[in-house]
Chain A
Amino acid sequence: MKKHLYRIMLILVLLAGTGTLRSEEAKIEARLNPERITLGESAELQVSISGGGGEPKLPEVDGLRFIKVSQSQQMQMINFNVSVQNNIGYQVQASKPGEYQIPPIQLVLEGNKTLQTQPLKLSVLKSAAPPPDMGGGGEAQLPHNEQDQLIFVRLSKLPEKMYSGQVVPVTIRVCIRNGMNVQNLNPKINGEAFSIKPLEFHRSQEQIQNVPYEVFTASTTLAAVKQGTYPVSASAEMVVLMREKLSNDDFMGSIFQQLVPKQISRESAAQSVEVLPLPEQNKPASFAGAIGRFEMSVKATPDEVHVGDPLTLSMQISGIGNFDHVSAPVLAPDSAWKTYTAGGHFTPSDASGYDGKKIFDQPLIPQSTSIKSLPAVEFSYFDPVESKYVVLKPEPPVVRLLGAAGNSASGLAASAPGPAPVTPPVPNPPQGSILLPNQIEIGALSQNLRPVFRQPWFWTLQSIPLSLALAGFFLFWRYRLHVTNPIRKLRREQDRHWLELETTMDEARRNGDSAHLAQAGCRLLRERLARTLGTSPENISPDNLRAGSLPQVAGLTELLELGDAVSYSGRRLSSAEMDDFIQRIKTLSTGIQS
Chain B
Amino acid sequence: MKKNILLSVCAFVFCCGTVSLRASTVDLQFDQYNRAYAEGRTAEALQGYQTLLNNHQISASLLFNLANASYRQGDVARAVLNYERARLLKPSDPDIRANLDLVRRSSGLTVAEDPFWKRALLFFSLDQWAWFGFSAFLLASLISCIRGVWQNFWPARPCPQQLFNFSMVAALLLILPAAAGLFVQSRDLDRAVVMHNEVMLKLSPFDKAEAVGELHAGETVRPLKEFDNYVLVENQSGRRGWVGKSQIETLLPQS
Which A residues contact B (CB, under 8 angstroms)?
306-310, 365, 367, 402-407, 410-411, 426, 428-429, 431-432, 434-454, 458, 461-462, 464-469, 471-476, 478-479, 482
Contact = CB atoms under 8 A, between A and B. Distances in A.
A429 B107 CA distance: 9
A445 B34 CA distance: 17
Nearest to B218: A405
Interface string B185-199: 010010000000110
B62 interface: yes
B134 A405 contact: no
Contacts of B103: 435
A468 B38 contact: no
Given A438-B38, A446-B89, A458-B130, A406 B217 contact: yes
Given A406-B76, A466-B141, A448 B56 contact: yes
A464 to B, nearest CB: 7
A79 B218 CA distance: 83
Given A411-B108, A429-B102, A468-B138, A451 B201 contact: no
B77 to A, nearest CB: 7
26 contacts: A308-B214, A309-B213, A309-B214, A404-B197, A405-B216, A406-B107, A407-B108, A407-B216, A410-B108, A426-B105, A434-B102, A435-B99, A436-B95, A442-B27, A442-B61, A445-B23, A448-B253, A452-B126, A453-B182, A467-B141, A472-B141, A472-B148, A473-B144, A475-B147, A475-B149, A475-B151
B251 A406 contact: no
A232 to B, nearest CB: 52
Contact of A405 (B58, B107, B151): B107
B61 A428 contact: no
Given A404-B198, A405-B77, A444-B59, 10 more contacts: A309-B237, A405-B104, A429-B102, A453-B182, A464-B141, A468-B144, A472-B145, A472-B148, A475-B147, A476-B151
Interface in B102-148: 102-110, 125-127, 130-131, 134, 137-138, 140-148
A379 B121 CA distance: 53
Given A449-B85, A475-B149, A410 B107 contact: yes
A310 B214 CA distance: 10
B110 to A, nearest CB: 8
Contact of B34 (A367, A440, A444): A440
B216 A476 contact: no
Contacts of A444: 59
B239 A436 contact: no
Contacts of B219: 405
Interface in B1-47: 23, 26-27, 30-31, 34, 37-38, 42
A478 B215 contact: no
Given A404-B198, A451-B127, A435 B218 contact: no
A432 B218 CA distance: 17
Given A406-B197, A438-B64, A453 B149 contact: no
Nearest to A466: B141
Nearest to B93: A439
B229 interface: no
Closest 5 CB pairs of A and B: A308-B214, A475-B148, A472-B144, A405-B107, A468-B141
B61 A441 contact: yes
B232 to A, nearest CB: 17
A94 to B, nearest CB: 47
A435 B71 contact: yes
A476 B76 contact: no
Given A306-B216, A475-B151, A403 B108 contact: yes
B208 to A, nearest CB: 17
Contact of A432 (B68, B143, B146): B68
Nearest to A470: B141
Interface of B: 23, 26-27, 30-31, 34, 37-38, 42, 56-62, 64-65, 68, 71-72, 74-77, 85, 88-89, 95, 98-99, 102-110, 125-127, 130-131, 134, 137-138, 140-149, 151-152, 155, 182, 186, 189, 197-198, 200-201, 213-219, 237, 239, 251-253
A309 B239 contact: yes
A219 B105 CA distance: 58
Nearest to A444: B59
B61 A439 contact: yes
Contact of B108 (A402, A432, A450, A462): A402
B108 A449 contact: no
A528 B59 CA distance: 74
Contacts of A442: 26-27, 30, 57, 59, 61-62
A450 B137 CA distance: 22
A472 B130 contact: no
A445 B72 contact: no
Nearest to B69: A438
B54 to A, nearest CB: 12
A440 B201 CA distance: 40
B89 to A, nearest CB: 7
Contact of B71 (A426, A432, A468): A432
Contacts of B125: 451
Contacts of B142: 465, 468
Among B26, B31, B75, B215: residue with most chain A CB under 10 A:
B215
Contacts of A461: 134
A479 B152 contact: yes
Contacts of A466: 141
A449 B251 contact: yes
Contacts of A402: 108
Given A438-B38, A443-B59, A405 B197 contact: yes
B211 to A, nearest CB: 8
Nearest to A404: B216
B152 A478 contact: yes
A465 B141 contact: yes
B59 A465 contact: no
Contacts of B88: 449, 451
Contacts of B85: 449
A475 B130 contact: no
A482 to B, nearest CB: 7
Given A438-B65, A448-B58, A465 B107 contact: no
A452 B88 CA distance: 12
Contact of B65 (A308, A431, A439, A478): A439
Given A435-B71, A472-B141, A472-B145, A447 B186 contact: no
Contact of A406 (B37, B74, B95): B74
A439 B64 contact: yes
Contacts of A435: 68, 71-72, 99, 102-103
